[in-house]
Structure 1
Amino acid sequence: MMMNRMQISCFTLMIFLFIGTASGQTDYIINNDNVKIMGEVKSLNFNKVKFIPAGEKKVQKFNARQIKEAYKAGKPKVRSIEMAIGERPLFLDVLEDGKIKLYEYFRSAPGYAGGGVGGFGGSAGKFNFDLVRSLIEEYNNLIISGVNKKIEVK
């Protein structure tokens, strides 16, 4: 039995609506009691997360002392991290998560115009952030698979 254009259009529309609804339900926060709460993350930055729990309409605001983690679909997961003892925690992007964790923290200094990396001699192109991240990722994957293998840097 062949479907007519109207049936196909309605079916396609239903699929897109389902995908849209399902993707809105992938956002979550994890509170300090390690409970995962599904909902919609409206916004997040290093200082706060605005979140609407599933089934509610009111936005709730959380700082990094109030929740451990937040995830918004299409964005890196953020985790509450205390940068130094006694300092207030901040939400940092989780780049790698495993036995070795890698977080991203960006802070610009007033008047800093950027520039090259100094003090590395001729090796500044060979040992960079991407290499370090790939080594961390490879190590974490080896730990997960239970393989003890040397990691070689070429």
Structure 2
Amino acid sequence: MPFDPSKPEPESSRRGMLLGVGLVGLAGTLSACGGSKDDSSADSSGSGDKSSGGTLGKASDVPVGGGKIYKSEKVVVTQPKQGEFKAFSAVCTHRGCTVDSISGGKIHCPCHGSAYNVADGSVANGPASKPLPPKSVAVQNGELKLS
């Protein structure tokens, strides 16, 4: 049937188009929220799986009394004392933001000001009320590995 510009489009057609536009917008928004790769946390083991046994990076990259955030893995590794490494989820327990900095012996969340102690992930400043969940990390041949 040829298109006749003098006749209005059926309502279902307009609804379908708006739904399609909305879904395309939603897909774009969701893809924009995906994490980006942080070159400093590339997996040198070649396994591609950093959540269970993958290499995070060099242990020497984690300063004593501080730490390093591996954004794509959502893990923060700290070194409270020389040679003592701890790993925690990098997801704030208050509202799920990713922590973004480490200073003064604290892991800081940018969203609402929560801070966690580098030694054990316990809450140093609220509004978070729960500690960062611990992860298992080991040093093998100078490399940090999640286990």
Instruction: Please confirm whether the aligned pair reaches a TM-score higher than 0.5, indicating the same fold.
Output: no
Structure number with greater CO (CA < 8 Å, separation at least 6) is 2
More helix by share: 1
Larger-gyration structure (1/2): 2
